[in-house]
Amino acid sequence: MTRLLVVDDEATVRELLSATLRFAGFEVTSAATATEAVTAAVAEPPDLVLLDVMLPDMDGFDVVRRLRDHGPVPVLFLTARDGQADKIHGLSLGADDYVTKPFDLEELIARIRAVLRRTTGRHSDVLTAGRLALDAEGHQLTRDGSPLRVSPTEFRLLRYLMENAGRVVSKAQILEQVWRYDFNGDTSIVDTYISYLRRKVDDAEPKLIHTVHGVGYVLRAPKP
């Protein structure tokens, strides 16, 4: 299981993030100070650190420097420091992404997965959303651990939606990425396969696949 370290001195933020990320399928530990974060990351390196900049004993930029002394670890800054200079500074230190507060939880999860895909391939093949788990390498789909049977096209469509969880994708984008050729402007096949998927994998509450009228579709992981 992918291990995340959440570092924030605000208890409510730590608890919200930890609960949400565990529900999304991650293993989560947390730290309230920079010292705790460095100690935890060195003792058992996580797959990704979600790091606030403003910490009581040391700022997050110094934490990154100390972590780099012990080896590479992916870092996503999650902070209220939204100045352009801060973003540039954080990324120049080697952070993999920089997200400012307030943030959307679904977008944050999508960006976490994007960083993991870029930085460590062994985490790129299993996607989770609510009760669903999609193993791209093994070409398996399960719900609560039980296998679900879908066609190859349905599998590719669901994978694309899960890879872009929280982001609205147009029917044209789906055609390009899932079918990989042009249907001369006819997007009805997307609607057809979305209905197939809904009957097979999204037949219970809370729903995962949502229609955005006039735009396309979005997969939203349920809130914990």
The whole-number pLDDT of residue 182 equals 59
Q: Could you give all domains of the chain from N- to C-terminal order, each with its CATH number?
A: 3-120 (3.40.50.2300), 126-219 (1.10.10.10)
The whole-number pLDDT of residue 1 equals 66
Residue of 150, 177, 149 lying closest to 161 (CA atoms): 177
Q: What is the pLDDT along the chain (224 residues), one digit of tens a residue?
A: 689 999 999 999 999 999 988 877 789 999 999 999 999 999 999 999 999 999 999 999 999 999 988 888 899 999 999 999 999 998 888 889 999 998 888 788 888 988 888 776 544 467 888 889 998 777 889 998 888 999 888 999 999 999 888 889 899 889 888 886 655 667 888 999 999 999 999 988 889 999 999 899 999 987 65
3-state secondary structure of 85: helix
Residue of 101, 49, 54 lying closest to 80 (CA atoms): 101
The whole-number pLDDT of residue 120 equals 65
Token pair 């120049």 is found at 92
The answer to whether residues 184 and 142 touch, using CB atoms and an 8 Å cutoff, is no
